[in-house]
Amino acid sequence: MSRKWAIRGILLYILFGLVMYAYLFVWADSTIPENLSGSVADPSTFMTERELVLSEEYSNIRYFLSFLSTPYEWLFYLIILVTGASKLFENWAQKISRFHAIQSVIYVFYLSVVSFIAIFPFQYISHRFSIKYGISNETFQSWMKDEMIDFWIGYISMIIIVAAIYWVMKKSPKRWWFYAWLLFVPYATFFVFIQPIVIDPLYNDFTSLQDKELEKDILAMAEEANIPAEHVYQVNMSDKTNAMNAYVNGIGSSSRIVLWDTTLEKLSKDEILVIMAHEMAHYVKKHLYIGVAGYLVAALFGLWLLSKLLTRISHKYKDTLKITNWNQLSSLPLLLALLSLMLFFSSPVSNVIARYQEKSADLYALELTQDKEAAVSTFQKLTQAGLSQVNPPTLVKWFFYTHPTMLERLMMVDEFETSDQP
């Protein structure tokens, strides 16, 4: 039975891959409506013929890999379970120590290493394509350094989460999901607080913004928006990517305004101010707090649903999946697979909410700067730098777009009436 499950999983994955390939490369239409031809949203008006071709190629490849990666994760967890590898990792951990915390450290290490090796091909292929199409210029050594940082941060975080969840599973088998959520609330809040000051600097070097005149203008906008920031930071990203970005993150005293050096190099002062006004809008409109609160509410429901699915599936398919018990470490791949499934199929809903917030931030930036021309040129340059599709296929938008499409953003700017317009 276990072998049949593995074979069926592989066949379903291959079938899914063929369907997604046909959808992206044959059926999907990413052209803009005819009535928008020649408008500010028409990519042929601001991208070269070669950029248009590369944009279609790179976008289709990138999203094809994205669609394949998540089901591949599910297939990986299925194989780990049905082959008995998860049970083996649990046995090894139990032989080394009788303490639950130590067993969690050992088990999670085995699973993390195997997972890293299994998923590495996807990560590497994505990296190579980003280099081929000129999005990334990161060396293999630098890329591997970031991958290893990801691994260890993920490993340490997973140890804390797994040890806590499986401890409350054993202490309260019926209400573990609620107690796990209570533990998750301070953990998630603390993580948001420390990310800009502890985690982000592990990947890149942050320095004060060199352009003091620009910093003065940005801080003036921040003061108007009541953002408690005394400095603007720039981060060296040009060694890794040609894409552009800027952001405001952190809570309270950890708040940081950050610009990538690629943004500073490729955009004018007015364009940078449009981007910063957009990012500040998220702070002004409390999007971070709303997002965290919404995430915590969703996590409560998600953990409840996860508890029902985990116990039911682990009991029904205990022998096939080779699980000792639903609250033992050997069930972790099943828990992770179910969590991944829930996140994937709920992403269209969360993305709708995210796109609404991003649209409101765009409007705020336009109202604050009253500079339509700079907003249009900013979005056009972002499209060029990222080789993005102006009008992506529907499924791509549903599952991956946390921002409005560039078609929607450019048309919104074009239709916006500034205060000096009649």
Across the beta sheet with 246-249, what order do the strands follow?
206-208, 232-235, 256-260, 246-249
Tell me, what's the pLDDT at 226? 76
On whether residue 280 sits in a domain, the answer given is no
Indicate whether 63 belongs to any domain. yes
Token reading at 63: 């999203």
Q: What's the token pair of residue 62? A: 């990138």
Quote the mean pLDDT of the chain. Answer: 91
What residues does 256 pair with on adjacent strands? Answer: 249
**Please, which residues bridge with residue 233 across strands?**
208, 258
- Statement: residue 255 has pLDDT above 90: no
Residue 243 lies in a domain: no
Query: What torsion, rounded to 10 degrees, do the Cα atoms 375, 381, 387, 392 define?
Result: 20
pLDDT above 60 for 422: no
- Which residues are 234's β-sheet partners? 207, 259
Residue 247 falls inside a structural domain? no
Q: pTM for this structure? A: 0.91
Q: What is the pLDDT of residues 356-391, one digit of tens each?
A: 999 999 999 999 889 999 999 999 999 999 999 999
pLDDT tens-place string over residues 68-117: 999 999 999 999 999 999 999 999 999 999 898 999 999 999 999 999 99
To the nearest 10 degrees (0 to 180), the angle between helices 332-369 and 140-171 is 120
Helix (H, G, I), strand (E, B) or coil at 388: coil
Cα torsion angle, 258, 264, 265, 270, sign:
positive
Residue 79 structural domain: 2-205+285-415
Residue 279 annotated to the active site: yes
**Does residue 242 sit within a domain?**
no
Summarize the confidence of residues 390-412 as an average pLDDT.
96
Work out the pLDDT band at 279, boundaries 50, 70, 90: confident
pLDDT bucket at 51, cuts 50 / 70 / 90: very high
Q: Is residue 137 part of a domain?
A: yes
Q: Is residue 422 part of a domain?
A: no
Determine the residue type at 396: V
Active-site position among 138, 271, 279, 408: 279
DSSP, res 85: H
Residue 218: pLDDT over 70? yes
Q: How many domains does the chain have?
A: 1
Q: Is the predicted pLDDT of residue 233 greater than 90, yes or no?
A: no
Residue 251 lies in a domain: no
